[in-house]
Structure 1
Amino acid sequence: MAPSSVHSFHPIPVEASPGIGDMSITSDQLLPSPDSTPRRPAWRQRLVQAERGLAWGLRADSVFFVHFFGISIVLAAGMTFGLELWQWVAITVALTVVLSAEMFQQALKLLIRGLGAAAGDEAMRALSIGTAAVLVACLGSTTVVAVVFAARACELFGG
């Protein structure tokens, strides 16, 4: 795979023409100095990091496909029930909490995997706590969604 950043260049020897002598071009000669390279504003750099993190997080584990399947069912049911604005807001917040907890869990897994054999019992306990946090977020989200749909069903069908 090709390097993703221009800063990963290595000196590349260039064959010289006969009579010119030995010559090589280094990455310092190919790249502009760091001072002349345009820098992104801090807010834009954070957006780039967030986009990369989101992509890496979603690709890291297939559990997100399960979450997105559940979210699609909730969205379809919400449209069918004709939810009000405040109900959509409650459901959106609940689902966002679950996805955020799952992203933090992915980050924790990645850090522990990076430790390798150095990861001790504390790291495994931290991973268990992170998994429990995702479970709590899922249970809370499920409760919010169930209450919203139950309230809407009572409004629609009288009860």
Structure 2
Amino acid sequence: MRAKTFEVRRDIYLRERLLEQHAWYRRKAALAHRSAARWSSVTASLTRLTLLAAVLRAADVIGRWDLTGLFSASAAAAVAWQEVRRHRPLTYAHSLAEQNLETLRIEMTTTVTEDQWPAKVAEAERGRPTPRGGPADEVSGGSGLPPQDDQGHRAAAQRLL
């Protein structure tokens, strides 16, 4: 792979690594968004049922049955589940990572020279930008990679350097 021209190595990396990451984050953001919308709908429906049960109980339509507690506890459980799963923050985080990868892809496609390439690949693998003109920070909080693909893709990226 290293014997290939810079343009070929760049195109392979952008196509097989960066675009793959971009698609992964896009899928995860969409999944988290759908989950957030679904659980919000469940919570709203349970809250409406709670209100309906309270009104029907007050009007003595449903007699001794008091479903208000059941529905309100269910709505509270749905809210708790949303907080535990953190769908909305995940949607934001995955969307932000997707945007950062797209920006990096455009930059790597248009302005990065062969001399700058290793630093930009390292930046892409860490998932966060480095200061302009500065060396890559070796202390990274996370790789920015899809978790299940981290090791294999890191090795593939090193071969492309």
Identify the TM-score tier after normalising by the shorter chain: 0.3 to 0.5
**Does 1 or 2 have the higher relative contact order (CA < 8 Å, sep 6+)?**
2
Q: TM-score normalised to the size of structure 2?
A: 0.35
